[in-house]
Amino acid sequence: MQELILLSLLVFFSSMIGTITSFGTATIMVPVMANFYSYNPILLFTGIIHWFGNLWKMYFFKSGMNVKLILLFGIPGIVASYIGASLILDIDQVILSRILGVFLIIYVVFVTLNNKWKLPKNNLTAIAGGLSSGFFSGIFGIGGAVRATFLSAFKLQKDVFIFTAGAIGFFIDSSRLVNYLSNNISLEGIFLWGLFLFVPISLLGAYVGKRVVNKLPQERFRNVVAVGLALIALKLIFFP
């Protein structure tokens, strides 16, 4: 019973934060669970919760649907992420994580000092942003935070930001889950039967996250995303 309660709290908290910032669900869940469970089931379990989390984002923020932005940013990003992931880099993963952490810190400091800065919202910058975010997320293996970094540079309305991140993440997660299952990764025990409880809890966490986002003034939303990126950056630098 204690294990069920603790996992439920982890799913709820991760889903809430993941909805507010559009990233962070897996970044929170995987390191915590890795202390107690074997890695492959964690990846599949987290991938399922993450998949539903993106579905909830799309549902709760459907007013922000921008098909053109999703296509211009998302399709190049998905293609570039596979290219980035396929590259063989002779660099230690710890070093890569710290490089990403430093990059995120620099970005957060920059947007904090230049709050009105944003990339122009045109087709070229959307495609370039998608390619860049996809490529670097493929290399670093942390798609949500990198994607949020580039999306926040456009200074989008919060519903457009979250829906776009959710839609792109949904398609990437779908591909990832197929890959896990095709490699015979499976769930057993509490991870399997617990989904009947954990999925609704992720919905509840997303709903609470939506309520928080609704109360956030638009001008402060990017600051909240920046704080989330800063926390992820510190984690990558000091606990890669």
Q: Which amino acid is at 139?
A: I
Q: Is residue 189 classed as helix, strand or coil in its secondary structure?
A: coil
First to last CA, the chain: 31
CB of 78 within 8 A of CB of 225? no
**From CA 57, how far away is CA 150, in angstroms rounded?**
18
Global pTM value = 0.88
The set of residues, in sequence order, having a beta carbon less than 8 Å from that of 178 and lying 6+ positions away, is none
Alpha-carbon torsion (158, 162, 168, 169), positive or negative: positive
Average pLDDT over residues 69-89: 80
| Mean pLDDT on 203-222 | 94
Q: Dump pLDDT digits (tens) for 104-149.
A: 899 899 888 888 888 887 888 889 888 888 787 767 767 788 888 8
Whether the per-residue pLDDT at 90 is higher than 70: the answer is no
Token reading at 44: 């599949």
- For residue 217, the SS3 value is coil
